[in-house]
């Protein structure tokens, strides 16, 4: 993979870490149920030089799915702290969609560069 490809992966890894990074509040839910603290997102917190764009895309897709399920299960809550967390996680899902789109576009770009 060329320099451009490596820079692309590094920039998306930084963006993904920023998006998924733990945003615990004082009244956060337990780690087992909070998407921000879930072990599912931990690979983004590691510097894995061997992670491909495809693997990153898979992690982003799983994170989107997990966070959407969490939001759906909590949307009817009357607890203001829970609703605040739901609003923040909805924002994360939107940001994750942008990461997913960028990963898809860069995969096409990397294919063109490598041929």
pLDDT at 110: 52
Nearest to 57 by CA among 90, 91, 24, 15: 15
In whole angstroms, how far apart are CA 57 and each of 9, 16, 62, 94, 98? 11, 10, 9, 15, 11
75, with CB counted inside 10 A (0-12, 13-18, 19+), is exposed
In whole angstroms, how far apart are CA 85 and each of 36, 39, 65, 68? 10, 18, 16, 12
pLDDT digit string, tens, across residues 56-107: 777 777 777 777 777 777 777 777 777 777 777 777 777 777 777 777 666 5
pLDDT at 89: 73
pLDDT at 2: 45
pLDDT digit string, tens, across residues 14-58: 444 444 444 443 333 334 444 444 444 443 433 455 666 677 777
Global confidence as pTM: 0.46
Return the domain boundaries, the chain. Answer: 3-23+31-114
């Amino acid at each position: 993979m060329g320099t451009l490809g490596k820079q692309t992966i590094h920039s998306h890894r930084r963006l993904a870490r920023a998006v998924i990074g733990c945003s615990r509040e004082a009244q956060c839910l337990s780690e087992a149920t909070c998407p921000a603290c879930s072990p599912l997102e931990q690979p983004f917190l590691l510097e894995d030089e061997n992670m491909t764009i495809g693997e990153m895309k898979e992690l982003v897709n799983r994170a989107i799915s997990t966070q959407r399920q969490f939001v759906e299960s909590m949307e009817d809550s009357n607890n203001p702290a829970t609703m605040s967390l739901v609003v923040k996680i909805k924002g994360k899902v939107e940001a994750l969609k942008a990461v997913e789109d960028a990963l898809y576009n860069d995969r096409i770009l990397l294919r063109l560069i490598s041929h």
